[in-house]
Amino acid sequence: MIRVSFIISNLSRISFIILLLSGCLTVSENGKKILSKEILKLEKLTRTSEQYAISYEFKDKTLYLSFDGGFVEEDVDKVIEKETVKKEYKVEYSEIYQKYTKLGYGRSGWALGFVIGSFFEYIFTIPFRTWNPSFDEIYNREIVVNQRKLKDTDINGLTLILRINDIEYVNSPMVSKTTNVSLLSINKAFGSPEEMEVLIYRGNDRVGFAVVPLKEAIERSMK
């Protein structure tokens, strides 16, 4: 009987120690720190393409869109860049730790246990959970150095698409370089969506793209 009680007593102590060393702290990734950058390859080129800039304005419960584009010539730097980075981690007290140490519950013994547990967990487990060797990431980037408009293009053959919540609200041939949409009609169809995508296509080629924030404008229009 003595041996059994001794074993049970030790098991309870071991369980208590395990409890102290786990669950007191949480670890989450908190971005990356760039240690160094290196350009592996740089290529300069000039290219011509059709592009449309999209601008917008909210007025009188209406969204006004305007489009300006044509053939554009760009000087571009194509860069292959290597970044040496390290992950950053955020260590915080867990919910259960905060529950028993900050909110009380009249369990001072438990509170002391979690305080001690967080101390030992930080010393013995956090270094392994945040072991953080640096590593390399390779990026292909295009940097537009200069841009010049060569000439306007005919809007015939262009298609305008207005997409909200992955649903094409409008998909029709472009008949003018300006258009407008009622915010009330958008609200009736979608409520108060966060944003709307505006896309312009010539055939299968996308020649214009913009994201228009809607939520605040729609909520103002409903007042």
User: What ranges do the domains of the chain cover?
Assistant: 2-221
Q: Which is it for the CA torsion 173, 179, 68, 165, positive or negative?
A: negative
Do 175 and 192 meet the contact criterion of CB atoms below 8 Å apart?
no
| Core vs surface per residue 39-70: b (16+ CB within 10 A) or e | eeeeeeeeeeebbbebebebeeeebebebebe
Q: Is residue 90 within a helix (H) or strand (E), and if so which, with residue range?
A: strand 62-93
Give the C-alpha distances (Å, rounded to integers) separating 139 from 80, 81, 218.
6, 5, 39
| pLDDT at 108 (0 to 100) | 53
Task: List the pLDDT tens digit at each of the 223 positions of the chain.
Answer: 445 555 555 556 655 555 555 577 888 888 899 999 999 999 999 999 999 999 999 998 999 999 998 999 999 999 999 999 999 999 888 887 777 776 554 455 567 767 777 787 888 788 888 888 999 999 999 999 998 989 888 899 999 999 999 999 999 999 999 999 999 999 999 999 999 999 999 999 999 999 999 999 999 888 7
What confidence score (pLDDT) does residue 106 get? Answer: 47
Instruction: Name the CA dihedral angle for 112, 113, 114, 115, rounded to a multiple of 10 degrees.
Output: 50
pTM of the complete model beyond 0.75: no
